[in-house]
Amino acid sequence: MSDVVQSYRMDKSQLTVVRLDDESDEKEYWSRQTPHERLRALEFLRSVTYGYDPATARLQRLLTVTRLGES
């Protein structure tokens, strides 16, 4: 499992229930975070959504054979 995924834990003592139409402070929270922290959170959400497999974490290499034309 990714170290980014392991570094986040849910604080269950801070759970609050609000109405969906209530004003959110998420925009203010994320604007205070550093770009590095925002990217870490984005990677965490990506890992949770799509999973993490060390075997596929690298970019695939493609090999293309092209024949030289006679000119």
Q: Is the pLDDT of residue 2 over 80?
A: no
pLDDT tens for residues 29-52? 999 999 999 999 998 888 888 876
DSSP output for the chain:
--HHHHH----GGG-----TTS---HHHHHHHS-HHHHHHHHHHHHHHHH---GGGSSPPP-----PPPP-
pLDDT in tens, 6-23: 667 777 788 788 888 888
Q: Residue 65: is its pLDDT beyond 60?
A: yes
Q: Whole-model pTM?
A: 0.52
Q: Do 3 and 50 touch, CB atoms closer than 8 A?
A: no
The pLDDT value recorded for residue 55 is: 63
